Structure 1
Amino acid sequence: MKTSALFLSSPLRLTALSLVLAVSAFAVQTASAQPQGMVGGGEHRHGPRGGEGMGHDMALANPRMMARMLDGVNATPEQRAQIQQLAESARADMKAQFEAGRKLREDSAALFSQPTVDARAAEALRQQRMAQHDQASKRQMQLMLDISRVLTPEQRKLMAERMVQRRSMKERYQAEPKAAK
């Protein structure tokens, strides 16, 4: 507990955490548009959702959850509209990136199913996947910066506090033995 209190004592760290969590959650929203990543998919409704990159905070996973998150920080109608527009734009970009990543995963599976695996081809795929991840990371960072310009410092701090609480609850839930669930 002391470590988390120390971490949260710095306003700059708290703001950075809130933005990172918001962006991570947005990535989940994008992936949730795919059948295997939909709420209710995966092994348990509140557990892992399946799909690569899943399992992050779900605050922006769907419009209703985003609305609740924005309610929690008392976002104005203008802020809501701006954030929705930013999210829609990023969602379109991230969907294309998700599909590119899916294609690379399929190519990897095909490569490794061959009788002899070509090391050069495997390295080329690895580099392509790294480039794809870098592109997605850059897009997520841009969304984070765009959202940070819409919210006030107080709203970002409040959002970070709420997201830390959600993360803590999720971690406690996931730490429970499966028999207790």
Structure 2
Amino acid sequence: MTTTRTSNFFHAAAAAAVSVALALGATVTQAQPGPGGHRGGPGMMAPGGLFGGHMDHLLDAVNATDSQRSQIEAIFKAARQDLASQRDAGMKLHQQMAALYTAANIDAAAIEALRVQMSAQHEVASKRMSQASIDAARVLTPEQRAKVSEIMKKRQARMAARQPG
């Protein structure tokens, strides 16, 4: 995986975690199950703001104040910094996995051990982004979180309608 693709993975994961956590913040208070995640794309860190137009659009839709936007941006900036070292480690793990699969003899035990390491790394990143998402959700009011939840439900319905089947 290239540096750009790895970086984009973490940015996309962050955007998905934010959207889901904000939606969950609203639905948990209503004792309802929260929605699932969604995939982001390579433009998530475009110059348009936190995660490009996506996060700005979400914050615009809930009339977030400049203070709320600054706080949320700081929360995710800190999370990105915390996870920066994992990007290099993740690239090395992916390179090792590629080498194992292209070796003359396939070592199933080594592949499994590496898979376990990769899963552990993903779990650490997921936990960190989940905490950042919780912190971001706490910046918004209950009414704003309810609005985010509605936006996410509509987005999920649109995505589900596009699925074949």
- What is the TM-score of this pair, normalised by structure 1? 0.62
- Once residues 99 and 28 of structure 2 are traced to their aligned partners in structure 1, the CA distance between those partners, rounded to angstroms, is 49
CA root-mean-square deviation: 2.9
Question: Contact between 2:43 and 2:52, CA under 8 Å: does it hold in 1?
Answer: no
User: Structure 1 regions of 5+ residues with no counterpart?
Assistant: 1-7, 40-59, 177-181
TM-score, L = length of structure 2? 0.68
Change (3 A) 1:96 1:170: farther
Partners of 2:142 and 2:78 in 1: CA distance: 23
SS in 2 for 1:116: coil
Range with bigger deviation, 88-97 or 71-80: 88-97
Residue 32 of structure 2 aligns to a residue whose secondary structure is helix
Take 1:113 and 1:91, find their aligned partners in 2: how far apart are those partners? 32
Count of residue pairs the alignment pairs up: 135
1:145 equivalent in alignment to 2:134:
yes
Query: Residue 56 of structure 2 aligns with which residue?
Result: 67
Who is 1:165 aligned against? 154
Once the two structures are TM-superposed, the CA of residue 159 in structure 1 deviates from its matched residue by 0.3
Q: Distance in 2 between matches of 1:94 and 1:165?
A: 31
Describe the shift of the 1:10–1:78 C-alpha distance in structure 2 as closer, same or farther (beyond 3 A). Answer: closer
**Aligned partners of 1:159, 1:97: CA distance in 2, in Å?**
30
More helix by share: 2
Counterpart of 1:3 in structure 2 is: none
Residue 11 (1) aligns with residue 30 (2): yes
State the 1:122 CA deviation. 1.7
Deviation at 1:139, TM superposition (A): 0.7
